[in-house]
Chains A and B, each alone.
Chain A
């Protein structure tokens, strides 16, 4: 039973991080209709910078209790790459979606070398900081408190995004633009500004996810291209452009991964893609998406 709880909590932790990145992907796709392959690169960027900032802060004598706030700050800081990249993407807004996809692929290639240039080719990781907050255990069941805090942070982020989109007037503008760009523009919405905000927010969610995951696993150059595929699976299962879909999709992917790792390791990733393909074939709009084109 407790072994099962371990697996479930591992899956939920993974799902929490996955949700953040996938939410960024959803936001950008929902409003801008761009599948941003570079969201995995933002995730990696957040992770590397998180390590650097935590090490610098600990060296400067800050107490380790500040681990979580420092990582959140690291994620927020790295979101500065969002606006210039949005400016670059602006050149292809009116163009065919394959070109938009390719431009984000170009970003993936460039980011990989930028990370290699700054942080080197070897994986980086933090020490034992993950146990700063101690751990909960009963019998065989143990979970670091840090993991629980990250899960809480992801839930908070989900609530904030929901409130922002549903309850604020700017959120309403975003949804209107997502629904019908031309009509929103005709009614006086500054679509350019909306796009810039949306993309920056999407970047922020990616870098934040990366920064938060880093005490539990190493940052490596491959994490960008691995993680974007998982985030992609999440949005396909949940439905492109849907926030509720990202949440459910992340939980599904996180739990399936965790469970199949224990039950039948060869099946780990395979199971996820099978579900992705099944979703695309049976219900291409995903669990929560609107009708597919």
Chain B
């Protein structure tokens, strides 16, 4: 696809998202905050999965890390500034992802998946069992924080989330998306793709496979932690379920639903699943079944996800129009 239509698409999307708090009831703005969180986390996750070809089945660990960082920095230490929480989450993610990534990136395929799954569950059992440190299954409270140094005293939590915090997250997502766009289109991004497609050849051509994979892993961890900090702020709680392997599975689900071979695929997937899950939950208590069936259908029939379907449709439209232009 050429840059023109894609940029237009992004612009329309951003304007539409920007209008939500003014046009729709606060419920919807509130509902979209997890979308921003997941969109940021999945953009990073897809650097590893879509561009690096490494499927992590334990990435929810970093969302948990972000949420627990918020609980510790804002709750325990009482530093109620969201920017500092984000900073702590990012540093925490680097500190955790460097050693774990160092151990994991030596493997690819199913072994990478299993190792990350094991680390994820290690983190889960730590959070779950060490009650006196982590609050166990009741988790840790994440208090209300200042954003950009402003208290917004006049607003209650819902108004804060549906107003200033909403725009804050939108801006954060744009920033994270732009940064990742630059990363993907840098020589590093090219190298990463080359070693996804043919690691032997890439290595032969002088690409440092483990270092690059480690860098991708650490970046994706930082994105995950930022997403997790947003989730923590929104829910007001950091609990071990954030780290459970089924949550990691949902991250992969969203990415594949949107389309991992497309830069914006994960964002599409996060938006679709957030809205869909909300709708389904209000209709039936058996929403997991519907989601599972949908995942199965995507995997079997549309492995390139919604973005892939859209891209194909767009191409068909262009092809149909071309003869008319020529005539």
Contact = CB atoms under 8 A, between A and B. Distances in A.
Interface string B109-136: 1110111011101100110111100000
B294 to A, nearest CB: 8
B288 A105 contact: no
Interface string A99-116: 101110111111111101
A98 B303 CA distance: 11
B286 A116 contact: yes
B57 interface: yes
A81 interface: no
Contacts of A276: 118
Contacts of B55: 98, 101
B39 interface: no
A269 interface: yes
Interface string B275-286: 000000000011
Contact of B293 (A102, A110, A229, A233): A110
Contacts of B311: none
Interface in B232-252: 244-246, 249, 252
Nearest to B248: A105
Contact of B289 (A35, A91, A114, A274): A114
B296 interface: yes
A113 B129 contact: no
A284 B115 CA distance: 9
B96 interface: no
Contacts of B115: 277, 280-281
B118 A280 contact: yes
Interface string A133-163: 0000000000000000000000000000000
Nearest to B125: A269
Interface in B272-327: 285-289, 291-293, 295-296, 299-300, 303
Interface in A86-102: 88, 91-92, 95, 97-99, 101-102
Contacts of A259: none
Nearest to B131: A266
B292 A274 contact: no
A110 B113 contact: no
Interface of B: 49, 55, 57, 103, 107, 109-111, 113-115, 117-119, 121-122, 125-126, 128-131, 244-246, 249, 252-253, 256, 285-289, 291-293, 295-296, 299-300, 303
A276 B114 CA distance: 9
Given A106-B293, A281-B103, A113 B125 contact: no
Chain A interface mostly helix, strand, loop or mixed? helix
Given A225-B246, A268-B129, A274 B107 contact: no
A266 B129 contact: yes
B129 A107 contact: no
Looking at A98, A225, A233, the one whose CB has the most chain B CB atoms below 10 A away is: A98
A186 interface: no
B299 A109 contact: no
A113 B289 contact: yes
A114 to B, nearest CB: 7
A102 B295 contact: yes
A74 interface: no
B303 A113 contact: no
Contact of B286 (A117, A273, A293): A117
Nearest to A229: B121
A107 B296 contact: yes
A101 B122 contact: no
B53 to A, nearest CB: 9
A106 B129 contact: no
In the A-B complex, the 3 residue pairs with the smallest Cβ-Cβ separation, listed nearest first, are A109-B292, A113-B289, A110-B292
A69 interface: no
Nearest to B260: A98
A116 B122 contact: no
A102 B256 CA distance: 9
Given A98-B113, A265-B129, A110 B288 contact: yes
A109 B291 contact: yes
